[in-house]
Amino acid sequence: MVNLLDFDVDGLTAWFARLGEKPFRARQVLRWMHRAGRDDFGQMTDVAKSLRAKLAEIAEIRGPRPIGDSVAADGTRKWLLDVGTDNAVEAVFIPEVSRGTLCISTQVGCALDCAFCSTGKQGFNRNLTTAEIIGQLWHANRALGAVKAPGMPDESERVISNVVLMGMGEPLANFDALVPALRLMLDDHGYGLSRRRVTVSTSGIVPAMDRLREAAPVALAVSLHAPGDALRDRLVPINRKYPLKDLMAACRRYLENSPRDFITFEYVMLEGVNDSDAHARALLNLVRDVPSKFNLIPFNPFPDSGFRRSRPERLRRFQEILLEAGIVATVRKTRGDDIDAACGQLAGQVKDKSRRVMAMAQPMEAWQ
């Protein structure tokens, strides 16, 4: 059976053409799938009965199966979604007064092994398919009641107004499945989100950043976490392959097509590791020719991490140095930490097939 969630609009149109169907049929089915959240071809009332019967025989609409649903005290909601072979991924909805943000995953686990991230400590199994990536948004819309049949008036406000690909995995390491999912998020027959409201987070896979700039240039967030190569090599090991000089150059190139006029840099604040005044001043020098916004993230502890969260007064001082230099710097509010849904805490249930031996965290002195 062909899972139609795997297709963006061009892919579904081509597939329908092979069935001898006109392009508008693909757009009809796309709207029923994504805008109405339907998985039953029989309910697609403006699609010809003969086509509905044919689709029921050869195709399906199958998103990841929910096996867990938790709601935090602050309203954050986390779903655990079954992706087969004893594995699950997590998606998190963060409600706020002015927007609703869905954080979704792109891989089962993560192979990049960033030192401060619990997901990386779970190992890596596989990439998600397009259906499994977009299926998280498809499921969340259904679970939140944010679906409507084609022909119904558009709602003035979306329940999910923003999507961030900041969950489990490195999105750009799963490029071929990522791009069709992004195109569905942006397409008016899919979810119709603005490019400014879809954000891909990357640890800095430079060639893929250049490809994304051409294929689906949405907003970009770069997991930075250190102002120099020596420290970043240890915190974010991909830096050994794509050092900061190359990463900053890729950021400048990305801005040529970006829907935003700045790059967001994510920076986890680790006590005694990367949070000194000197680190803040080194950051200013690093991004001096890259229009930037910094998102300072209080570290969310997990067992045996070996790190501590920066003290509030140290975080404030670090932020002040950036602000005084004219750099926008915000502190990310910790949301959903009572259900392990906060940044860096997503681990799901991952069966590590990489057989990678994970070393215990080094003593704090080694990071200074």
Distance CA 347, CA 334 (A): 17
- 343 a catalytic residue: yes
State how beta strands 328-331 and 292-298 pair: parallel
Q: In what order do the strands lie in the sheet with 292-298?
A: 65-71, 77-84, 87-95, 100-103, 162-165, 198-202, 219-223, 263-269, 292-298, 328-331
Q: Which residues contact 298 (CB under 8 A, 6 or more apart)?
A: 268, 269, 309, 310, 315, 331, 332, 334
170's enclosing H/E stretch is none
Give, rounded to a whole angstrom, the gap between the first and last alpha carbons of the chain.
Answer: 54
Are the C-beta atoms of residues 72 and 93 closer than 8 Å to each other?
Answer: no
Tokens of 32: 């029923």
Are the C-beta atoms of residues 266 and 221 closer than 8 Å to each other?
Answer: yes
Among candidates 256, 317, 328, which has minimal Cα distance to 287?
328
- 110 a catalytic residue: no
Query: Considering 96, 155, 343, 365, which one is annotated as catalytic?
Result: 343
Rounded to 10 deg, the angle between the 206-215 and 175-186 helix axes is 30
Query: Considering 57, 60, 90, 132, which one is annotated as catalytic?
Result: 90
Catalogue the active-site residues. 90, 343
